[in-house]
Amino acid sequence: MLQYIIRRIILMIPTLIGVSLLVTALLRLLPADAVDILVAGGEVQGGPESFNEIVNKRLAAEGKDPAAISGFNSDRLRAEKAVVDDQLKKEGINPETALDSQRTAARNTVSRDAFKDKIRQRVGLDKNYFEQWSSWAWDAVRGDLGTSLIGSRDVSSELKRRIPVSVELGVLGMLVSIVIAVPLGVASAVKQDSWVDYGLRGFAIAFLSVPSFFVATIIIALLIRFYGYSFPINYRELWDDPSTNLQLVVTPAIILGVGLSGTLLRLTRAQMLEVLRQDYIRTARSKGLSSRHVIIRHAVRNALVPVVTVIGLQVPVLVGGSLVLEQIFAIPGVANYLFSAINNRDFPAIIAVNMVVAVVIVVVNLAVDVSYAVLDPRVRLS
C-alpha cells in the first residue's frame, strides 16, 4: 500500500500542473480586460504616481535628475506639457488649440494607462501565457503565492488565516451529513417499503430540494423574530473564543450537512438493498446470526464503499455550498475570499485559492481510494 500511495502522490504533480495551466488560461480568456475593470471600479489608485514616473523618465532621457526637479519647476512643467501634448496628438487633437478640459482628459488617460501597465506587469499580464504561468509556478514552488491587487496583502498569509475557518465549517458539515445519511439510509433499506422507508425517502428529497441560502435566511429570521437572537457579527477563532466560534459555525455547518445528506441517504439505501440481496448475507442468516449482527458486521461495511466515493466527490460541493453560507453568516473562509477575489479580478488570489482547492480534492481522492482496502478486504491496492 505504501508504494501505491507514493505513486499516487507523484501523479498529483502533473494533475496540479494541469489545473494551474487551465486556471491561468481561463483568467486570460475573460470577456473583458480585467485590469480595465479593476481600475474603472476605483478599487486601486495610483494614476498620479504613474504619471509622475512617465515625466521622470522623460526628464532622465533629457539628461536631467528628476529627484532634483520637483513642484512647479519649469523643466518639470515643460515635461508634463510634452507628455500631455503627445497624448493629444495620438487622439487627433491639435495641442495648440486644445481646450483645458481636453488637456485634463488627456492627462488622466496617460495616468490611467500607465497605471494599468504597472498592474499588468505586477500580475504578469504583460507576458505571454507560458511566461506568466512559469513565473507564477516558480514563485509558488518557493511558497510565494503572490500579493493581492486589493490591499496589497500577501496571499499566502490570507490563506493561512482563512483555511482553518473553511476546514472547520467543511468538516463539521460533512460529519453532520454522514451522521444523518448513513444511519437513516440503513434504516430505510432494512424497513423497505414501510412507512419508515417512505418517510425517510421523503426527507431525503426535501433535503435535496431546499436551497441552503433559503434555509439560512429562514433560520436567521425566525431566531430574531421569536427569540430576539442574532448570530455574532465578528468571527472568533475556536481556541480564542469557543462560544462565539461555535455560535457562528455550528448552524451553517448543520445547514450544509443536511443539504449534502440527501444524496448520501438515497445512495446508502440503494447500496444496502443491493448488499442485503447477496448470497453471503443469506448464508450468514442461515447460520443463525442475528439480523443486527449481519447488518452491522457484513452489510453496512460493504455498502459503504460506493458511499465513501460519493463523500470524496462532495468535497468540491462543500466549497460551493460554503460560499453562500460564508456570505450570509459573514464567515471569513476561503470561499468568501474567492468570491471577493473574483469580483475584484484579483488574479493572484483567484489562482491561489483554486490551487488550494485542487490540492484538497486530490488528497481526498487518495484517502478515498486507500479507504477501499480498509472497508473491503477483497480490494488490493497495487
Residue that is written with C-alpha cell 510634452 in the block: 82
- Other beta carbons less than 10 A from residue 271's beta carbon: 22
For the domain made up of 155-375, the CATH class stated in words is mainly alpha
User: Among candidates 181, 154, 157, which has minimal Cα distance to 260?
Assistant: 181
Instruction: At 277, list the grid cell.
Output: 440481496
Give CA torsion, residues 212, 214, 218, 220, to 10 deg.
60
User: Among candidates 321, 334, 79, which has minimal Cα distance to 207?
Assistant: 321
Non-local CB neighbours of 234 within 8 Å, separated by 6+ positions: 244, 330
3 state DSSP class of 266: helix
Non-local CB neighbours of 46 within 8 Å, separated by 6+ positions: 115, 118
Q: Over its length of 382 residues, how does the chain's per-residue pLDDT go in tens digits?
A: 677 778 888 888 888 888 888 988 887 776 655 666 666 655 445 567 777 777 777 777 777 776 666 666 677 777 778 878 888 888 888 878 888 888 888 888 888 778 877 777 776 667 777 887 888 888 888 888 887 776 678 888 888 888 888 888 888 888 888 888 888 888 888 888 788 888 888 888 887 788 888 888 888 888 888 888 888 888 888 788 888 888 888 888 888 888 888 888 888 888 888 887 777 777 777 777 777 777 777 677 777 777 777 777 777 777 766 778 888 888 888 888 888 888 777 788 888 888 888 888 888 888 877 777 666 666 555 5
Measured CA to CA, the distance from residue 91 to residue 121 in angstroms comes to 25
Task: Please give the span between the terminal C-alpha atoms of the chain, in angstroms, as a whole number.
Answer: 7
In the chain, domain spans: 44-141, 155-375
This prediction has a pTM of 0.72
Measured CA to CA, the distance from residue 187 to residue 194 in angstroms comes to 10
Measured CA to CA, the distance from residue 29 to residue 25 in angstroms comes to 6
